[in-house]
Amino acid sequence: MATPRKVCVIGAGLTLFRRRMLETGKELSFEAVRMALDSAGIERKDVDTVVSGSAPDAFDGVHMKGEYLLDGSGAYRRPYSRVFVGGATGVYTPEAAWWHVASGMSEVCIAVAEEKMSPLQPHPAYAFWSIFDHDYERQLGTTLLWIFALEMRRYMAVHGIKEEEIAQVAVKNKKNAMDHPCAQLPANITVEDVMKSEPMVWPVKRLDVSPPSDGAAAVILASEAFAKKLTKEPVYVAGCGWNIDSTYWTDRDLYYPQYLENAGKMAYKMAGISNPRKEIDVAEVYDPFDYKELHHMEGLQLAKKGEAPKLTTRGITQRNGELPINPSGGLLGVGNPIAAAGMMKVCEIYFQLTGQAGKRQVKREVHTGLAQAWGDLMQYSSVFIMRRR
């Protein structure tokens, strides 16, 4: 295989995440891209390709969202495509942008992710009903919460994990979000609050779950030569990985995300990482539910199987800990406009690596950071690793 050329991240931008925003999807995309261009110190004329990422059309209520969003994405009369891998889209979008630049086809590529979940009535959760098999699952009234509750229960049962241990993640992330200017649900809560919150689909309770949101986020990728014109110390894309498991989800043992292990290994290999636990300084792992942070730490080899709750209890995943996880506040605290939420994580790692995270800056020195997202029928993972020299 030919060696891909080096690619850098040169700017990032994101909008507020809220239950309902006045901006349309195009306007949200514009705001995020505009901010990313400004943070890079470049203009649209410097950009030669654009990748847009957005989850199901059913949320926005706009069929063919790719074309709908293009003007606001900065793609007018540019090579442009929309990518879609469910919830994993937000981290997959900069990976698609990476191919554009790594291949030599493009010098500067915008990666933007948008989601506007508020139009769908009575609740965005409704959109998920039609993702299930129409021949033998939909008849049961299957919802997305069911399958996550089933996964959470299986994870708890295999390792003997208590709900209280999982609730610590919600407490940590909502607290971290208090320092995020875009956050929708920052809060100072306790494990007891999570335990007492109303059961939705047990073991999933209200405070175990991230909220539906409107929002957009973007990063700009560029060739090393272009990036070096802007800064002496660019942030490099060190590794990309993605992987999918079977859609026959009831065949899988849900306690462990094997597809994520595969995606992680792909990214680690590219980044030359042999011991992720030692070599990753900060990680933004996908946390639409609190148990997912733990599940994903294990899939990413940042914790041994069943060990992530213990690391959390010991405070290792706090911002001042040895392995800070979700210093942004994650989806649980900042909000979950699906694709934009994954991209928010990529932005956060960029901010952490460039020392722009403000109050959220982690205590330890940061050289290598990882962002990860997860989606489709609990089967897809995308992993994006960035590094500064």
Partner 1 sequence: MEKITSETKIGVVKDHIPLKYNYTAGVAGDRFLQLLKQGKLQASQCTQCHKLYLPPKIFCKDCFSQLNEWKDVAEDSAYVYSFTSVKKEEGPRELIALVKFDGVEGGLLGRLKSSREEPRMGMKVRPVFKQKSERTGELSDIEYFEKVNY
Partner 2 sequence: MSEKVKFFPGREISSKAMESGEVLTKYYSADLNYSWSTGIAVTRFLQELKQGKIIGRKCNKCDRVLVPPRIFCEDCFRTTDEWVYVKDTGVVNTYSIAHVGTDASRLKEPMYIAVINVDGPTKGMGFLHYLGEIKSEHEIKVGMKVQAVWKPENERTGSILDIRYFKPI
Q: How many CB atoms lie within 10 A of CB 272?
A: 10
Segment near partner 2 (CB under 8 A); pick from 38-46, 84-92, 99-107, 378-386 = 38-46
Token pair 């294990």 is found at 298
- Position 67: which residue type? E
Nearest to 351 by CA among 259, 359, 158, 168: 359
Contact mark string toward partner 1, 23..52, x via CB under 8 A: xx-xx--x--xx--x-----xxx-------
Token representation of residue 208: 């175990």
CA–CA separation, 118 and 19 (whole Å): 7
Smaller CB distance to partner 2: residue 237 or 244?
Answer: 244
Smaller CB distance to partner 1: residue 120 or 266?
Answer: 120
Supply the minimum distance, in Å, between the C-beta of residue 18 and partner 1.
Answer: 12
CB 115 within 8 A of CB 213: yes
In terms of Cβ atoms closer than 10 Å to its own Cβ (0-12, 13-18, 19+), residue 355 is exposed
CB 215 within 8 A of CB 337: yes
The CA–CA distances, whole Å, from 153 to 91, 299, 389 equal 26, 17, 42
Supply the minimum distance, in Å, between the C-beta of residue 90 and partner 1.
Answer: 22
Provide CB contacts within 8 A for 295, sequence distance 6+. Answer: 151, 155, 256, 257, 308
Sheet holding 380-388, edge to edge: 80-83, 49-53, 108-116, 214-223, 7-14, 235-244, 380-388, 368-375, 282-284
Give yes or no for residue 160 binding partner 2 (CB under 8 A). no
CA–CA separation, 57 and 48 (whole Å): 26
Give yes or no for residue 187 binding partner 2 (CB under 8 A). no
Site for partner 1 in 68-97 (CB under 8 A): 71-72, 74, 76
Smaller CB distance to partner 1: residue 108 or 323?
Answer: 108
CA–CA separation, 369 and 388 (whole Å): 9
Among 19, 119, 266, 322, interactor with partner 1 by CB under 8 A? 119
Among 4, 61, 195, 356, interactor with partner 1 by CB under 8 A? 61
Supply the minimum distance, in Å, between the C-beta of residue 117 and partner 1.
Answer: 11
71 interacts with, out of partner 1, partner 2, none, CB within 5 to 8 A per kind? partner 1
Give yes or no for residue 64 binding partner 1 (CB under 8 A). no
Smaller CB distance to partner 1: residue 129 or 248?
Answer: 129
Give yes or no for residue 305 binding partner 2 (CB under 8 A). no
Smaller CB distance to partner 1: residue 118 or 301?
Answer: 118
18 interacts with, out of partner 1, partner 2, none, CB within 5 to 8 A per kind? partner 2
Please list, residue by residue across 163-180, b when 16 or more beta carbons sit within 10 angstroms of its beta carbon and e when fewer do.
Answer: bebbbbbbbbbbbbbebb
CA–CA separation, 153 and 313 (whole Å): 20
Smaller CB distance to partner 1: residue 30 or 384?
Answer: 30
Give yes or no for residue 250 binding partner 2 (CB under 8 A). yes
CA–CA separation, 277 and 254 (whole Å): 23
Q: How many residues interact with partner 1 (rule CB under 8 A)?
A: 29
Task: Give bridge partners of residue 380 from the DSSP assignment.
Answer: 244, 375
Supply the minimum distance, in Å, between the C-beta of residue 351 and partner 1.
Answer: 22
CB 221 within 8 A of CB 9: yes
Cα four-point dihedral sign 202, 206, 212, 215: negative
Contact mark string toward partner 2, 205..244, x via CB under 8 A: ----------x-----------------------------
Site for partner 2 in 324-353 (CB under 8 A): 351
CA–CA separation, 213 and 216 (whole Å): 10
Give the footprint of partner 1 on this chain (CB under 8 A). Answer: 20, 22-24, 26-27, 30, 33-34, 37, 43-45, 58, 61, 71-72, 74, 76, 118-122, 129-130, 134-135, 138
Name the site residues for partner 2 (rule: CB under 8 A): 12-16, 18-23, 28, 31-32, 34-35, 38-39, 41, 61, 121-123, 125-126, 129, 134-137, 139-143, 145-146, 149-154, 157, 181-182, 198-204, 215, 246, 248, 250-254, 351, 354-356, 358
